[in-house]
Amino acid sequence: MILRIFIKTKESSLVPPNFSVKNEHGEITETAQLRGKVVFINFWASWCPPCRAEFPSVQKLYDRYRSNEDMVFLTVNLDDELILGKNYLQKEKFTIPFLVPNSSIPKQLYSGSIPATIVLDKTGKIRMHHSGMADYSKDSFYKEIDGLLKE
């Protein structure tokens, strides 16, 4: 459940160090290249029960915003054997992007606990940071995302 997890602290003015991910075709995306877009970052693994529990809501969020050119989804798999994560998405028919880290993950984004979700605003600042399971398919969360998209 999400209860006003958008942060309003000094961390909300933080632009984390650049972080890059790679898709299954070897294409690299860097967070520094995504200025001007709202970026939803989710760290997950196929063996993680809370990750699996929140995935339907992540998929609903992705379905709602994937055609919005001002929104980017970085759903980052942290399985030791990447085929396990890929197989999980295929088995469950999830269509979110399958990405893996291509650089070290800044501690401002990930402290070692999954699932972990971060939302960056269009300037690259952290506007939300949540560790643990959440439901991202709530109208209240959509309103927060819509507000960031309008900024």
* Tens digits of residue pLDDT in 42-78: 999 999 999 999 999 999 999 999 999 999 999 999 9
> How sure is the predictor about 13, in pLDDT bands with cuts at 50, 70 and 90?
low
Q: Does some domain include residue 27?
A: yes
Q: Does some domain include residue 104?
A: yes
Q: Does some domain include residue 5?
A: no
Q: Does some domain include residue 2?
A: no
Q: In the prediction, which pLDDT does 7 show? A: 46
Q: In the prediction, which pLDDT does 1 show? A: 41
* Tens digits of residue pLDDT in 81-139: 999 999 999 999 999 999 999 999 999 999 899 999 999 999 999 999 999 999 999 99
Q: Does some domain include residue 24?
A: yes
Pairwise CA distance, residues 33 & 6, whole Å? 23
Q: What is the CATH number of the domain that holds 21?
A: 3.40.30.10
Q: Does some domain include residue 28?
A: yes
Pairwise CA distance, residues 100 & 75, whole Å? 8
Q: Does some domain include residue 92?
A: yes
> How sure is the predictor about 8, in pLDDT bands with cuts at 50, 70 and 90?
very low
Q: In the prediction, which pLDDT does 2 show? A: 42
Q: In the prediction, which pLDDT does 15 show? A: 84
Q: Does some domain include residue 50?
A: yes
Residue 110 Cα distances to 25, 33, 35, 51, 139, angstroms: 24, 19, 20, 14, 26
Rounded (5°) CA angle 138-3-34: 70
Domain containing 126 equals 10-150
How many domains does the chain divide into?
A: 1
Buried b (16+ CB within 10 A) or exposed e, 91-100: eeebebbbbe
Q: In the prediction, which pLDDT does 3 show? A: 40
